[in-house]
Amino acid sequence: MKSLRIFSLLLVVCFVWVAQAGPHSDRDSDWDIDIPYQIFTLDNGLTLIVHEDHKAPIVAVNVWYHVGSKNEKPGKTGFAHLFEHLMFNGSEHFNDDYFQVMERIGATDLNGTTSEDRTNYFQNVPSSAVDVALWLESDRMGYMVEAITQDKLDEQRGVVQNEKRQGENQPYAVAYELMTQACFPAGHPYSWTVIGSMDDLDAASLDDVHEWFKTYYGAANAVVSIAGDITAEDALAKVKHYFGDIPAGPPIARQDVWIAKRTGTHRQEVQDRVPQARFYRVWNVPQWGSADGDALDLVSDILAAGKTSRLYKRLVYDDQIATNVSAYVDLREVAGLFTIVATAKPGQDLQAIETAVDEELQRFLKKGPTAKELARVKNRAIAGFIRGSERIGGFGGKSDILASSQVFGGSPDAYRTRLQHMHDATTKQLQQVARTWLSDGDYILDVTPYPSYTTTASTVDRSTLPEAGTPPDATFPAVQHATLSNGLKLVLAERHSVPIVNFNLLVDAGYAADQFAQPGTAGLAGDMLDEGTKKRTALEIADELGTLGASWGAGSDLDTTSVSLSALKGNLDASLAVYVDMILNPAFPQADFERLQKQTLAGIQREKVTPIQMALRVFPGVLYGKDHAYGLPFTGSGTEQSVASLTRDDLIEFHRTWFKPNHATLVIAGDITLDEIQPKLEKAFRSWQAGDVPHKDISAVIPKTQQELYLVDRPGSQQSIVFAGWLAPPRANPHEEAIETMNNILGGDFTARINMNLREDKHWSYGARSLIMDARGQRPYLTYASVQSDKTSQSVQEIQKELQDIIGDRPPTPEEFTKTQKNQILQLPGTWETIDSVAGSVAEMVQYGLPDDYFQKYAEVIRTMTLQDVTQAADSTIKPNSVVWIIIGDRAQIEPGLKELDFKVYQIMDADGKILE
């Protein structure tokens, strides 16, 4: 990315203004990344950062408060995260759910998060709705206390506690709690988890919550980062207008660096309901922004990022004692952690894994990395940063980068220092840093004068919410078509925002193709595509693409198998050569087949104990029948029996049968023209010969005539997973947009009926939703929720009620329809911000035979829709009497209540979908 420099200074009397672009250096051009910004400090201490990006008519508003769980006290943990939830429940002048208004104005990338060190709230909005977002953010910054009532506190306390239960209900979740307590001494601000303890959450009082807001949510403790289709002058004027009257807040004590490095080895053992043993190894290391911390980030990638990394190659490829291994650094504000995690292959001893990890680590400490390894991880790091910086908002977008750099690094361009650390890293330096921190195992308080902040007189009308301006029109790039001489269809969408070109080959196969083979064949065949070709081994593929800064993947859905590549344009030819080789010449090496076969079997075992995956495995067989092409596990992994029976020849036959150019489409999106790419592809695919593929039978299934309930026992579950499903029309149907709108009202949006019922009204669940999985044939229409075990049967009844109501006594209301209709239109500018998102929509058009102008006309189709259209969509799509229920939970706790529901079909099923009784 070419860097942009800021050459002019705007002098303003009322506030302090500073602009920084960072000094020039001798770094390579790829590393010389500059995100231009202007920074302002208001008289009340509020920091404003503005970045202009006019590629799309959207604006990111990202507010960071310099407070996280480390600001809590023992006995009062979980406050930072609990308060984040309360901030979405309304402020003094807008005492309603925050998502209600955000969905009406088309907000995307909307969320709030809490870490040990900060709490942030962010959203992308159409450029016409910036005032709405700033009004709301300023209102909850300056006018929140009186809106926090006991009822709201109790409601969100219940939601957070269900979030905690949901997290703890996952396999291996106990590891995080134990690691947090073991790695930091008592009293250290990182010695408790962000979500806190149940007892502390129960004890949280209204006074405690009010005091938390008054202490940490002042203007001087906040950074507002704005990026997108807005000028710095306009952003400053608006922020002064809305935020200028908010008090600075009291002085806040800041924790200095406290790494808490340990000595010796501390061991702990715990048992959990998991199918494979897992090994964790953790060191205390330096903090965010430190040279050593950034060097250790590169060390972690050399050890375990990609198939050619030392630990992955040793444990997964060579010794084959683990199914997966990872290493990462968690660099926080005052300290960090370096973690290695390895999951043992079934039957393997963890001691063997520990020995292998130690041997590879000692080898690294003794000799250091190679120049080639260092180049690979550097390219990986810069490619990831470039891809993230295409976006203005959300996690890793430019507003996020600038805000985090200001809060943790003291300057919006502190990210440049981190990139410089990685760019300048040498093999000798990485070896030395690793020796310092990975060979084995003070609090200082400085008090400085607190500035005399003042506030300005407010001119904001707080009696009413500002009206959003005229919404911008969303634009979707025109698609171009071509066909190669062998019949391969090309579909291109140009987007020249960053030097990236994405490819996605869509082959007419998918899980449905397994009706001609063993279940799991399509999935395993896709996984094997990068395991070696006639020219390259798997490790050579990984090394070559990693060095080129390319990312790749393969996978399947119900109808298609896809192979994707994301390449830097400067390395396009070399990346494309590897990509084509993987598509045309997979070798399916026997040794790698056996390894992946074992990993797939281990993955199936994990699916069979993970709540949602358990339901997704057994649902299709009940909904479609086991003989239907869609009747296989929606995870695509197959069954233990089918995968165990597969041979290398089965995968070769799958590739030979389904990979035909005249039955495939290559979707291309990014910084390329058709004239540039077509000759390259014609040459690259010239040896690929056309042919016929089998006809997949995805014929219609007769709906159920009565409700059926299947209970899968998961002993010890703290929550139940409640799944309800029935069959809906195929994706390509004349009423799809009305069905989509209806589903958003029922369960697709945050403020939809099902979620507001089970989460906000009842507090039984952290979240509940409904969705329709896309497919060429009849689609599964699903609702699901993780609920408290003691509310399982009641949750079933509430979902039943919502399904009946939307086609009966409570059809979609004009208010619901208008809100959802506007939200669907207004979200569009943010929907297609990235090259990858554009490519995804083009692929959707290809997969389901949608016209080229489908997304160009989409807004008009939604705009001219009527409430009657949506009501009719509900009547024709929602089938309460055809619902299949899958309940995953502790049978001993939940069965008495379920039996009282008096289902005509009520059966106990195991994790393989076998009826037990």
Tokens of 361: 């680590």
Distances 178 to 263, 331, 349, 773, 831 between C-alpha atoms, Å: 18, 19, 21, 37, 39
pLDDT tens figures, 450-476: 678 888 899 999 989 898 888 888 889
pLDDT confidence of residue 901: 94
Question: If you average pLDDT over each of 196-210, 454-468, 680-694, 823-837, which comes out highest?
Answer: 680-694
Asked whether residue 430 carries a pLDDT value surpassing 60, the answer given is: yes
Compute the distance between CA of residue 581 and CA of residue 577 in angstroms, rounded to an integer.
6
H helices within 126-197, ranges in order? Answer: 130-142, 150-168, 173-183
pLDDT confidence of residue 449: 53
pLDDT tens figures, 701-724: 998 999 999 999 999 899 999 999
In order, the DSSP letters of 675-709 are: HHHHHHHHHHTTTPPP---PPP-----PPPSS-EE
Compute the distance between CA of residue 369 and CA of residue 452 in angstroms, rounded to an integer.
52
Spatial neighbors of 360 by CB under 8 A, at least 6 apart, are 303, 310, 311, 314
In order, the DSSP letters of 449-462 are: PPP----PPP---T
The mean pLDDT of the chain is 91
Compute the distance between CA of residue 530 and CA of residue 873 in angstroms, rounded to an integer.
43
Average pLDDT on 356-373 reads 96
Contact indicator for 741, 781 with CB cutoff of 8 Å: no
Length of the chain: 917
> Which residues are paired to 556 by β-bridges?
561
Which residue reads 């070559």 in tokens?
544
pLDDT tens figures, 800-831: 999 999 999 999 999 999 999 999 998 888 88
Long-range contacts of 574-578 (CB under 8 A, 24+ apart): 574/544, 574/548, 575/545, 575/548, 575/550, 576/503, 576/680, 576/684, 577/684, 578/536, 578/541, 578/544, 578/545, 578/548, 578/550
pLDDT confidence of residue 473: 82
pLDDT tens figures, 529-579: 999 999 999 999 999 999 999 999 999 999 999 999 999 999 999 999 999
267: confidence class by pLDDT, cuts 50, 70, 90: confident
Q: Compute φ and ψ for 394, nearest 5 degrees.
A: 75, -175
pLDDT confidence of residue 509: 95
Instruction: Report the percentage of the chain scoring pLDDT > 70.
Output: 96
Asked whether residue 15 carries a pLDDT value surpassing 60, the answer given is: no
pTM value?
0.86
Using DSSP's 3-state secondary structure scheme, residue 427 falls into helix
pLDDT tens figures, 151-163: 998 999 888 998 8
pLDDT confidence of residue 271: 83
Asked whether residue 878 carries a pLDDT value surpassing 50, the answer given is: yes
Asked whether residue 775 carries a pLDDT value surpassing 90, the answer given is: yes
pLDDT tens figures, 837-858: 999 999 999 999 999 999 999 9
In order, the DSSP letters of 590-612 are: HHHHHHHHHHHHHHHHHHTTSHH
